Each structure stands twice: as C-alpha cells, then as structure tokens.
Structure 1
Amino acid sequence: MEKIYGKTEGLRKSDLKRLSNLYRRRLPPERVLTPELAQTLAGLSQEIHRPIALLLDRGGRVVRVGVGDAKDLPIPEGARAERRLSGFRLLHTHLSPGGLSRPDLSVLFLHRLDSLAALEVEGGRPATLHLAFLAPPKTGEDWRLLPPRPYFQYLDLDLRAEVEALEEELSRQARVRELLDGSGERAILVGVDTGEGPEAEAGLKELAELTRTAGGVPVKRVLVFRPGLDPRYLVGLGKLEELKSLAYHENASTLIFGLELSPAQAREIERVTGLKVLDRTQLILDIFALHAKTPEAQAQVELAQLRYLLPRLVGKGKEMSRLGGGIGTRGPGETKLEVDRRRLQERIAHLSRKLEEYARRREEARRQRRRQGVPLVAVVGYTNAGKTTLLQALARGGEAGEDKLFATLRPLTRRGFLPGVGEVLFTDTVGFIRKMPEELLTAFRATLEEVREADVLIHVLDASEEGALERHRVVRDLLLDLGVEAPVVLALSKADRAAPYDLYFLGERLGGVPVSALKGTGLRELKEALAGALLASGVRPQAWAQYT
C-alpha cells in the first residue's frame, strides 16, 4: 500500500486502502480535474470527515496523497531543477466554504507550485472550485486568484497553457536580470538595528561590499528595526514573509543576514522562506576561501570554516548540505560535512598541527631577521584600505593590490629603504573588519604574529571612505586585543580621492600623513615619519644609511 501523508491517526484500514488507490488516478496534463476525480474526492473526504490533498506532476500522475490541509502534505525537495516552477500542482478539498486560506497560498508561493486548487465539498458532492497561480514578478502581487466558480466551469481550462505562459514570463525576466547583473547569485541583504542607528546602516553597506566580493549580487538591502531579537526567527515571522515575497519579485535565491545566526535560527528561517540562508560570518569565511591561494592560507581558512561548522552539525541530509558553503559553495563543502563528527574533529586536529608547523617556520624566519638586525615594518588596516598598493609603492615591488575585501590573506614581505635608517622589511597583513569572526582570529594567529613582532606599524586608513573614524577605532581596538605595543604611524591613504575637508578633519582628529600610493604623493613624508618612529624606538641605523 502506498504511503499516505498527513493526519492519518484514527483512520480505518479500509479508508487508508481507498486513499492509497488514489495513486492510480491520472489526470490529463492540461486539466485541473475531471468530474470523476471531483466526485471521488468529495465523497471520500465527506466519509472520513477530513480534507484530502493530492500532489500531481505535469504528466497528471498522482505522486503524493495526504490527509489534511495543503500545508500538511510535504512537497519533495529539489523539484525545480531547471524550470522556474516546481512542476507540481496541488489539489485538495475543503469541507467548509471560505476559499483559499493564507496557509494554502503560502504553500503555493513557498514551493513554486504550478497551481493550487481547493474543491469545496457540500453534502458529499463537489461544489465550488478555487484556483490560484503565482503572479509574475514585479506585478506587486505574490499570487493570482481566479474567480471562485462551480467546479464544472473549470473543466475546460487549459492548465498547461497557463503554466507555460507563466514560466515563459519568469524566464524572460530572469534573462533580463542576468544581462544586467551577470550570472552572480542574487541576494537580499538583511541588517538589524537594535538601537545602533548609523552604525547599523554602515554595517549593512559593508555587508553589500562583502557580498559583491564573494561574487554575489546584492539586489536589495533591508534594515529591520527591532528592540530585541526573535530567538527563533531573528527578525520575526511576519518580516520573513515580507522577505520571501521580496526575494521572489527580485529573483533572489539567498538571504544574507548581517548578524551571526544560531543553527536553530538558520534552519527555521530556511524552512519558512525556502531560500538559502547565510550569515555574515559564513560570508566572510566564503571570501577567505575564494582568496586563499597558498597552502598555509588554505589550511587556515579550512580550519576556520570547520570550527564554525562543527557546532552546527545537527544531523545528515538537508541540514548538513545547507552548511556546505556560502555563495558558490566554496570551501570544505558537502563532501567533508557528510562525515561524522569524530572524523571532522580529526580533520581539525590535523589542520591545527599543520598550522603549528607553519608557525614554527615563520618563527625561525623571524629569528633570522632579528639576527640580521633589519627592522620590520608591518602594514595594518581595515580591509580594502589600500595596504597592498601602499606596500608596493613603498617597497617598489610586490603584488598589485585589488579593489576587493580581504584580497590579501598571507603576509607579503618585501625589502625597502628608509632615509636615515637603511634597509627595512615591509610586510602586509590580513585586513581587519568590524566584528571579526573569532574563528578567523584563531586560525590566522600565526599570520598575525607578524604584527606583534614589528618594530613599527603603518596603520593605513582610507580617507575617502565614509565612516573612516569608525574604521580607525575598529583597527585600534583589534591591535589592543592582540597586545601590539609597537609605535604606529597613521597613513591617510587614497588622499587623491578624498574630499579636502575630510582630509583636514581626519588630520585634526587623528593626525597622520596624507598619501596616494597610485600617484606617489606623500610617500616621502610617510617614509620620514616611519624613520623617525624607528629611531625613536631605539632602532640603530645602518652605518652607511646615516649619511643618506
């Protein structure tokens, strides 16, 4: 006997047998229902005093039978393949008048059903039919309701033509968006303001930068004002319904939240919306995985990802697959997550040992530098502040910088010269960001040791960026947390792009040397400031450099 889903408690075996026989039914692909099926469903529903739901494929075959409302019949996962709609339609009975309910229509919308039909039953006979389709995006509506009519008036409706027309419109709009945005994953960004005000808005803007760096397309930014967070849905069930509708009309498949989600919150939000759900930490880990090129950086990123994922492994199947990565599912991916917790812990231990070996090699290199007496200048700053470009200008060599967040994941060390000091080593570091994920700080501990060992730091601050003061505070606080004691020289980078008043304001508040690495302005003044800081800290100049 075929499986019957839903509220089957208390039904007799004979009732279950009759329900199972519904699997043998087949509708013409172009018809909503037939008189025979309408009579059968109405009579059986009246006898068992419960609604009956059928899920049919596009060939008209019954693939699932359930007892209860539309929401009680589970829809198979992964049904949509390449089509814009799921390829399934749902037909169910109502034992009382009232039409399609909000939960009914949510099933239609959430699962992208081809159609949803409700057949009212009166005295064991079929009566009014209610029929709904998804509305095309950008119409302002989530679904299209046809007028309720006696069921026999819909017997000649060409269902196949309705579905094909809707899919063609969905495909046309998707092609237009792809031409405008490329093939990137379209995402809705969600920030939460619990009283932070401008800082929450800046965080949402930064989330958009992170999404673009990860290869996604931020199509909408939504800032939710809440005095407290919902422990289950973060922003509340009603707001999730709005986000689900917005994602449909924007053809977005992903929700990205600016806060870190608990495992339970991520699962519940995904269940309610039917969308991929990422939080800010996952997005940053995804970017690090994208930019990790060397074996050390790859090991560091994988370790950070696995430490983040380990407490979120609640089982196998969909829960683990959802955590397979961020945009584009980079990183350790599903294949590593489908092992048990013990093997995952073994992998973490292996990566930790490997990074300890890298740390020992790095420490040996630092000892050799100290024996040679060459001062070390570390370049630090907020991500995408222009650190790599400035290092290239100061050292006259190295890799070109990129206008991306976290473009540099490994220390890039180059030799250079400072007047009055002589030869120095300039080293680049990982960019900082507000609320830096703890997993990353732990995994990149050895890399950040370069900052502690430096004789002087260049703090690169993007003077052209809105919110520069806040970014300066973030870097300063992280340096304090790392226990850095070296003197700091502030470089107000991208001075050629900054407004004159902004440069003046930052200079008055923070001091610093305005520089433009691309145009070469301010580099001489910055080198002089670095040389002065090194000499003041007790660094002895090389003999030949005292006369330069």
Structure 2
Amino acid sequence: MEKIFGRTNGLKPSEKRRLANLYNRRVGANRLLSAELARTLAALSEELEKPISLLFDRGGRVIRVAVGDAKELPMPEAALVETRLCGYRVLHTHLAKGGLSRPDLSLLFLHRLDAMAALEVEQGLPGKLHLALLSPPKAIEEDWQIFPARPYHEYLEWDLAAAVAALEEELSRQARVLDLRDGSGERAVLVGVDQGQGVQAEVDLAELAELARTAGAVVAHQELVFRPSLDPRYAVGRGKVEELVSQAYHQNAGTLIFGLELSAAQARELESLTGLKVLDRTQLILDIFAQHARTPEAKVQVELAQLKYLLPRLVGKGKDLSRLGGGIGTRGPGETKLEVDRRRLQDRIAELTRKLEAMATRRQETRRQRERSGLPIVAVVGYTNAGKTTLMQALAKKGEPGENKLFATLRPLTRRGFLPGLGEVLYTDTVGFIRHMPSDLLEAFRATLEELHDADVLLHVLDASQEGALERYRVVEALLAELGVEARRILVLSKADRADGYDLEFLKERLGGLPVSATQGQGLSELKAALAEALLTQGVRPAAWASFPAAQPEAPGLRRFETP
C-alpha cells in the first residue's frame, strides 16, 4: 500500500486503503481536476472530517497523498532551474468556506509550484474552487496571482498546461534580458547580517559581493539584515527568508549566499525551505581557493580544508541512514551509506594530512638551502587583493603580473631582487589574509605560512584606496600574532595613486607607512631604502658590490663576496 503522509493517527485500515487508492487516480496533463476526483475527495474529507491534499506531477499522476493541509505534503527534491517551475501542482480540500491561506500561497511560491488549488467541501459535495499561480517576475502584483473563486465545474476544462507554458516563457524571456544586462553566470542573492557591527557590517557585505564575483557569480541583489541574535533554524528568520526568496525569483537567482558561517542545521533548513542553493561565507572562500589552486601543494591544502568543513555536515535523513550497531536487538547489516561516506572522508583526510606533512618536510629543506645561501628574506604579507604580487614584481623586476582578484596567489612565490647599498635579497609572496579566515583553511595553509617565520623583514601591504583599511590592517596583524610571527614590519600603503588624499594622510598619521604605487613606480625608491636600512639594522651585512647595481650576480662569471 502506498504511503499516506500527514495526520494519519486514528485512521482505520479501510480508510487508509481508500486514501491509498487515490494514487491510482489520474487527471489530464492540462487539467486541474476531474469531476469524479472532486466528488471522491469531497466525500472522503467529509467522512474523515479532515482535509486531504494531493500532489500531482505534470503528467496528471498523483505522487503524494496527505491527510491535512497542503503543508503536510513532502515535496520531492529537485534541482532548481531558474527559468522553470518545479513541475508539481497541489489540490487540497477545505472543510470550511474561505480562500487560499497564507501558508498555501507561501508553499506555492517557495517551491515554484505549477498551481495551488483548494476545493471547498459542502455537506460532502464539492463546492467552489480557489486557484493561484505565480505572477510573472516583473508583474506589479504580489508574487502570486489569485483567480476568482468559482464552482469547481467551471475549472474542469480550464487549460492549465497553457498557463504554465506562458509563465515559463516569461521566466525564460526575463532570464535572457538579465543575462544581456548583467552577463551570464550563476546569479546570487547576498545576505549580510548586522549583529550590531554598524558600518563594519556594510563593509563586510561589500567584501562578500567581491568574493561572490571572484567565484564567478553574478550579484543579483544584496540585502543587509539587522539581527542582534540569529534564529537557530533560519538564521535571519522565516519571514525574511521568504522575502529573500521573492528577490531571488524576481532576479532569476538560484543561490543564496550568507555573509556568516551557517551551522549544518541552518543550511539544511534553509535549503529545504527555499529550494535554492545555500552557501555561507566559508564555502564561498573555499570555492575561490579551489578555483585558484594550481600546484599540487595548493590543491592538497584546499581539498583538506574542504573535507574538514564537510565532515561535520555529512548527515543522513530518516531511518534508512540510521546506525545499526552490535548487541542484542541492534544487530544489522553493519555500516550504512552515511557511515561509509564518513569513514571514507576520514581516511581521505588522514591521507591528505600525510601528504601535507611530507610537503612541509621538503619545504623545510628548501628553506634551509636558502638560509645557507646567506641571502636576506623579505616576506610580503597583507589582506587579499591588497597589491602584494604587483608590488613584488615591481621590486624584483620579474614575475607574473598581479590580478585584481581575491586570493589570486595561493602558493609562496620567491623572487630575487636587488637593494642599493645592500645587494641581493629574496622576496617571498604569500597567500592573502581575510577577516574571519576559515579556521580549517588557516590550519591547512599553516605549513606554507611558516615561510613568514624565516623572514628577516615583513612588508605589510595595505590597500590605501579601499574603505575600511584600518580594520584590514588590524585583521592581518591579529593573524600574524596568532601565527607567532615576530619579524620586523614595514607598512606599505599601496595603490597610493588611487587613494583619496585625506584617507592617505589619515593612515600615515595613525599607522605610519610609506605611500607606494607599484604600477606608477611612485615611492619604490623610498621603500627600497627603508628595506635596506631595516635589514642592516637586523645585522645583514652588505655585499662588496652592493653599490653597483649594474654588477649583479646574474652577470656571467660574477661571484658574490661580502665585506669583512
């Protein structure tokens, strides 16, 4: 017998069989209901004194039967296609007079149903039919359009398939217009949460938008939600989530991105309620790292961080994935798919950890070789997209040009350079930092960041043209303190040519630092002089040929000698 959902307590076996027989009913693919089905539903509802809800697919087949309101119907899981409806429609009975309820309309909208219909029952006979469909995305009405209530027989010949086809055509047309306007890509609605941070929350939302664009998403809508305490189930509350789904519908977006780390339960509830892909800030950052990982070491580090993030979120649903252990009354088939998946993840994490340890050992040997060379090391650190790679290219006169992207550099890049009055030095670029750096990611990259401990001087690169530069400075310094890095710092106020004069003076007054524009060459000579002075103060001895830039070690046959 087919399963009956909803409020089935107290039903007799014969009543359950009659309900199960509804699975054998079928209406035309382009019809809402048939006269026979309407009479059967009305009689059953009157007898049970409970509403009955049916879920149909596009072929007119009944795929779910529930006792209770439409919300009792479990919706099949289906991938969202922004230009399509979900392909299911609901027909349920009302034992009292009245139109569609707010939960009915919310269900219609949140699941993008083809149609939501309610049949009034009057003394065991079908009465008026209430009908609602989604509105076109740019319609002036609400998110749904409610048709006039009419006797059910007037809707028997109504062409549902034509109405659904017209709405989907409008959805496709709107999608094409948005693609032409904003460019193709995965469209996303961004959700920032202000828990009392004020202006910083706005800065964080702007940073989330930049992260989304770097990941390849098209930012369709941004919204900052003031929420002093998070809702344990939906983070920002069910009402606000429904508003966000409305924005996603009108903007043809299939993804919700939250600017905080969601718990596993919150992510599941949000996806279940909205039918959209739900990401949090940590997943977004991990995705960007995965896109930019090119070397074997970077790929291992990113995969390790992703698996550690996924492991506690690997959960099952229902009894099919329950664990059957040993002992009387609990013997069973052993591990279920959930447990097998969890064990495989743990095995993979252990394997990647071993690989990373082996890579860390090789990296230590490389660092020892550099130390034996006697060349001073200058490490370039800073917030992501602060201009570190571009500055290093300008200082070393070689290397790849920087990109205007977040986390464009994931592996340490070492280049030789020359400082007047000192000689050769090694410049090392590192992965950029970010506010609320995911702990799993920081742990995975810890071996790489150990390069900073061997540096004689740190160049802290701060983008002076960006709003919130002071907070970014504090974030980097806090992470360096967490990593135990104590090397001497030189602050570089990068992108000085694009910075507002007042902001530049404010940063110089508060933090000190040297204004530099790597692309324009502004301030580079002053920076090199400051670097040479800092290294000399650290006890680095100048090379004998250091005052002759033309005579660098790259010249054939030239060897380096240090002054006694």
TM-score range, shorter chain: over 0.9
Q: What is the rounded CA distance, in whole Å, between the counterparts of 1:305 and 1:144 in structure 2?
A: 43
Greater shift, 463-472 or 537-546, is seen at 537-546
Shift of 1:446: 1.1
Question: Would you say the 8 A contact 2:80–2:254 is kept in 1?
Answer: no
Give the aligned partner of residue 77 of structure 1.
Answer: 77
- One-letter code aligned to 2:70: A
Shift of 1:378: 0.4
Greater shift, 440-449 or 52-61, is seen at 52-61
Shift of 1:149: 1.5
Q: What is the rounded CA distance, in whole Å, between the counterparts of 1:198 and 1:372 in structure 2?
A: 48
Shift of 1:264: 1.2
Give the aligned partner of residue 356 of structure 1.
Answer: 357
Question: Would you say the 8 A contact 1:300–1:444 is kept in 2?
Answer: yes
Greater shift, 286-295 or 97-106, is seen at 97-106
Q: How do residues 263-282 of structure 1 correspond to structure 2 at under 5 angstroms?
A: 263-282=264-283
Give the aligned partner of residue 328 of structure 1.
Answer: none
Deviations 1:17-42 (A, max 9, x none): 22222222222222222222211111
Q: What is the rounded CA distance, in whole Å, between the counterparts of 2:443 and 2:400 in structure 1?
A: 26
Question: Would you say the 8 A contact 2:81–2:254 is kept in 1?
Answer: no
Give the aligned partner of residue 471 of structure 2.
Answer: 470
Shift of 1:101: 0.9
Shift of 1:315: 2.2
Give the aligned partner of residue 404 of structure 1.
Answer: 405
Shift of 1:509: 2.0
Q: How do residues 141-180 of structure 1 correspond to structure 2 at under 5 angstroms?
A: 141-180=142-181
Shift of 1:58: 2.0
Give the aligned partner of residue 124 of structure 1.
Answer: 124
Give the aligned partner of residue 453 of structure 1.
Answer: 454
Q: What is the rounded CA distance, in whole Å, between the counterparts of 1:285 and 1:20 in structure 2?
A: 47
Give the aligned partner of residue 47 of structure 2.
Answer: 47
Q: What is the rounded CA distance, in whole Å, between the counterparts of 2:80 and 2:489 in structure 1?
A: 56
Q: What is the rounded CA distance, in whole Å, between the counterparts of 1:369 and 1:162 in structure 2?
A: 72
Give the aligned partner of residue 386 of structure 2.
Answer: 385
Deviations 1:326-351 (A, max 9, x none): xxxxxxxxxx9995222211111111
Give the aligned partner of residue 95 of structure 2.
Answer: 95
Describe the shift of the 1:115–1:547 C-alpha distance in structure 2 as closer, same or farther (beyond 3 A): closer
Give the aligned partner of residue 2 of structure 1.
Answer: 2
Describe the shift of the 1:79–1:99 C-alpha distance in structure 2 as closer, same or farther (beyond 3 A): farther
Shift of 1:5: 2.4
Q: What is the rounded CA distance, in whole Å, between the counterparts of 1:241 and 1:287 in structure 2?
A: 28
Question: Would you say the 8 A contact 2:82–2:252 is kept in 1?
Answer: no
- One-letter code aligned to 2:159: D
Q: What is the rounded CA distance, in whole Å, between the counterparts of 1:161 and 1:346 in structure 2?
A: 53
- One-letter code aligned to 1:66: A
Give the aligned partner of residue 197 of structure 1.
Answer: 198
Q: What is the rounded CA distance, in whole Å, between the counterparts of 2:128 and 2:157 in structure 1?
A: 15
Give the aligned partner of residue 211 of structure 1.
Answer: 212
Alignment of 1:109 with 2:125, yes or no, is no
Give the aligned partner of residue 517 of structure 1.
Answer: 518
Question: Would you say the 8 A contact 2:85–2:112 is kept in 1?
Answer: yes
Deviations 1:165-188 (A, max 9, x none): 111111111111122233321111
Give the aligned partner of residue 486 of structure 2.
Answer: 485
Q: What is the rounded CA distance, in whole Å, between the counterparts of 1:406 and 1:82 in structure 2?
A: 30
Give the aligned partner of residue 29 of structure 1.
Answer: 29
Shift of 1:6: 2.2
Describe the shift of the 1:316–1:42 C-alpha distance in structure 2 as closer, same or farther (beyond 3 A): closer
Give the aligned partner of residue 188 of structure 2.
Answer: 187
Describe the shift of the 1:267–1:146 C-alpha distance in structure 2 as closer, same or farther (beyond 3 A): same
Shift of 1:16: 2.1
Deviations 1:285-331 (A, max 9, x none): 111111000000000001111111112222279x99xxxxxxxxxxx
SS of the equivalent of 2:309 reads helix
Deviations 1:122-181 (A, max 9, x none): 100011110000111132511110011121222232212111111111111111112223
- One-letter code aligned to 2:190: L
Query: Which blocks of at least 5 consecutive residues in structure 2 are unaligned?
Result: 322-336, 550-564
Deviations 1:371-400 (A, max 9, x none): 111000000011000100111111111111
Deviations 1:32-81 (A, max 9, x none): 22222211111121112221122222222222222211111112111766
- One-letter code aligned to 2:67: V
Q: What is the rounded CA distance, in whole Å, between the counterparts of 1:108 and 1:195 in structure 2?
A: 35
SS of the equivalent of 1:340 reads helix
Q: What is the rounded CA distance, in whole Å, between the counterparts of 2:539 and 2:89 in structure 1?
A: 78
Question: Would you say the 8 A contact 1:79–1:87 is kept in 2?
Answer: no
- One-letter code aligned to 2:111: H
Q: Cα RMSD over matched residues?
A: 2.0
Alignment of 1:345 with 2:330, yes or no, is no
Q: What is the rounded CA distance, in whole Å, between the counterparts of 2:263 and 2:2 in structure 1?
A: 38
SS of the equivalent of 1:544 reads coil
Alignment of 1:314 with 2:315, yes or no, is yes
SS of the equivalent of 1:517 reads coil
Shift of 1:546: 5.1
Q: What is the rounded CA distance, in whole Å, between the counterparts of 1:272 and 1:63 in structure 2?
A: 20
Q: What is the rounded CA distance, in whole Å, between the counterparts of 1:340 and 1:187 in structure 2?
A: 30
Question: Would you say the 8 A contact 1:80–1:87 is kept in 2?
Answer: no
Equivalent residues, number: 532
SS of the equivalent of 1:314 reads coil
Describe the shift of the 1:434–1:62 C-alpha distance in structure 2 as closer, same or farther (beyond 3 A): same
Query: Which blocks of at least 5 consecutive residues in structure 1 are unaligned?
Result: 321-335
Alignment of 1:499 with 2:503, yes or no, is no
Greater shift, 133-142 or 395-404, is seen at 133-142
Q: How do residues 300-339 of structure 1 correspond to structure 2 at under 5 angstroms?
A: 300-315=301-316, 339=340
Q: What is the rounded CA distance, in whole Å, between the counterparts of 1:183 and 1:316 in structure 2?
A: 35
Give the aligned partner of residue 240 of structure 2.
Answer: 239
Deviations 1:418-452 (A, max 9, x none): 11110000010000111111111110011111111
Greater shift, 121-130 or 82-91, is seen at 82-91
Q: What is the rounded CA distance, in whole Å, between the counterparts of 1:137 and 1:40 in structure 2?
A: 36
Question: Would you say the 8 A contact 1:316–1:338 is kept in 2?
Answer: no
Give the aligned partner of residue 428 of structure 1.
Answer: 429
- One-letter code aligned to 2:516: V
Q: What is the rounded CA distance, in whole Å, between the counterparts of 1:396 and 1:79 in structure 2?
A: 50
Q: What is the rounded CA distance, in whole Å, between the counterparts of 1:85 and 1:492 in structure 2?
A: 51
SS of the equivalent of 1:188 reads strand
Describe the shift of the 1:18–1:189 C-alpha distance in structure 2 as closer, same or farther (beyond 3 A): same
Q: What is the rounded CA distance, in whole Å, between the counterparts of 2:80 and 2:198 in structure 1?
A: 40
SS of the equivalent of 2:244 reads helix
Give the aligned partner of residue 66 of structure 2.
Answer: 66
Q: What is the rounded CA distance, in whole Å, between the counterparts of 1:547 and 1:80 in structure 2?
A: 66
Question: Would you say the 8 A contact 2:316–2:338 is kept in 1?
Answer: no
Question: Would you say the 8 A contact 1:42–1:121 is kept in 2?
Answer: yes
Give the aligned partner of residue 57 of structure 1.
Answer: 57
Greater shift, 493-502 or 353-362, is seen at 493-502
Question: Would you say the 8 A contact 2:383–2:434 is kept in 1?
Answer: yes
SS of the equivalent of 2:546 reads helix
Give the aligned partner of residue 86 of structure 2.
Answer: 86
Describe the shift of the 1:280–1:296 C-alpha distance in structure 2 as closer, same or farther (beyond 3 A): same
Give the aligned partner of residue 325 of structure 1.
Answer: none
SS of the equivalent of 1:93 reads strand
Q: What is the rounded CA distance, in whole Å, between the counterparts of 1:214 and 1:337 in structure 2?
A: 30
